[in-house]
Structure 1
């Protein structure tokens, strides 16, 4: 009986309602959150004396920061003073006649989703994430891109948004809208599934072998959580993996291409945004 339990493990089990781990317990998916991005941003604006203003309709998450660093180095990014986030700075830039907002170095599932929540609360209408990733199935030599259609939920954030399942899925309409979009793009753009992990330095060989059996093409740190957020919040989010390395297992690994791959990534973002804007930017 829980009431007779004296050791720590037994007490933890009792608190967790029969041994359910905390990551799955007490989630109540149908209930709204008491803490909201709108309220956080309201207080940040008050404390920082920031006037309420919108951000570009199309926003970019750049977990590696290479895209933003490249834009800043060329003088092509402008700081958005109206962005009220406590943790990041948002810049704007233009490509192909479209304006974009971008946040760099928001790496990992929880950080990426925190920023995504705040972006949509601030006026974003379409979010594109391009993250560096490690090759799992050796389809071809890096670098290349993957349009992530689904991501294995081996992280924590998605379980706070959506009940347990193996995968988070991209919106089928987004994927369909990109059909044929990259036929003339100079870098290969494949489509498939990835493995989202919270712990990149715990990718054991046995774990990698298991992911190969699932035919997961690459490992990254954000997509499963972003897609769970997108599904529950009904927000358009599209994730790309930029396969740049073989997890450092060969000499000379982590070669992303020209300007650390940022020019290719920017061209990819512009192509995707042009295809998707008529669907989501009204």
Structure 2
């Protein structure tokens, strides 16, 4: 029988200031050697699209091209233009560990601003779905964040980034509010008791990536903005999981564009992206 006082493996043998032996640079070096990818960096602004709906719509409309320098073993990177801004986008990297793996590879490949737009289940309502939440903090109920930051209840967004997104950061017709989320690794273990506990904390939605991405942002000094597209009530009603017109793609692209413009200005200027360490970290 195990000792109840033993530190759980997820919290043991973590050395947060130590360098990793295995790095995204070494992985991509060998992938490039094997695949022969072009020596081309990724766009300055990239999007994670866990559902894949944005990517599928862009591909179906002929708006994307494959990035010739992206050699990730697990994903494809597509490039498209939206209102004068060039974006890279990766679809279907679902969950904390997958999202962070891809994010690490994007940043060492030239990404300077990463925007995650994930679908989410409503807990404490902030409106009638669908609507967007700019995630200010995410409860760390996943595993990946604990490999990047010491234990704490929350991963929090950079206040400087949030300040620069203040005001009408998206067109008026696109509902967007600020709030908190619960990041889980196990969507099919969202029990009634767990949901009640999250509601009692005032948490607005449940998703699967934000806490880990914000921990990565803090640990690696990288600018990451996470948005939750609240589309459902976890399947407890009929007609759930509706994203709106065009499966929510038009609204999602509008949100991504405004975030990119607010945070990056002229995305060709290296000094226009704020440093992620300005106030960013984990909240106890």
TM-score range, shorter chain: over 0.9
In structure 1, how many angstroms separate the alpha carbons of the residues matched to 2:233 and 2:38?
Answer: 45
Q: Is contact 1:144–1:243 with CA below 8 Å preserved after alignment?
A: yes
- Counterpart of 2:221 in structure 1 is 234
Please give the per-residue CA displacement for 1:167-223, whole angstroms capped at 9, x wherever unaligned: 000011110001113364312100011000000000001100010111100000000
Q: SS where residue 270 of structure 1 aligns?
A: helix
In structure 1, how many angstroms separate the alpha carbons of the residues matched to 2:170 and 2:87?
Answer: 23
Q: How does 1:1-282 map to 2 (within 5 A)?
A: 9=2, 19-182=6-169, 184-278=171-265, 281-282=269-270
Aligned length: 269
Q: How much does 1:279 deviate?
A: 8.7
If the length of structure 2 is used for normalisation, what is the TM-score? 0.92
Q: Is contact 1:181–1:272 with CA below 8 Å preserved after alignment?
A: no
Please give the per-residue CA displacement for 1:220-249, whole angstroms capped at 9, x wherever unaligned: 000000000000100000000000000010
CA spacing shift, 1:127–1:183, aligned 2, 3 Å: closer
In structure 2, how many angstroms separate the alpha carbons of the residues matched to 1:156 and 1:166?
Answer: 12
Q: Is contact 1:154–1:196 with CA below 8 Å preserved after alignment?
A: yes
RMSD: 1.3
**Which has the larger Rg?**
1
Q: SS where residue 260 of structure 1 aligns?
A: helix
Q: How much does 1:85 deviate?
A: 0.4
In structure 2, how many angstroms separate the alpha carbons of the residues matched to 1:183 and 1:75?
Answer: 25
Q: Is contact 2:135–2:181 with CA below 8 Å preserved after alignment?
A: yes
Gapped regions of structure 1 (runs ≥ 5): 1-6
If the length of structure 1 is used for normalisation, what is the TM-score? 0.93
In structure 1, how many angstroms separate the alpha carbons of the residues matched to 2:13 and 2:132?
Answer: 37
In structure 2, how many angstroms separate the alpha carbons of the residues matched to 1:235 and 1:148?
Answer: 16
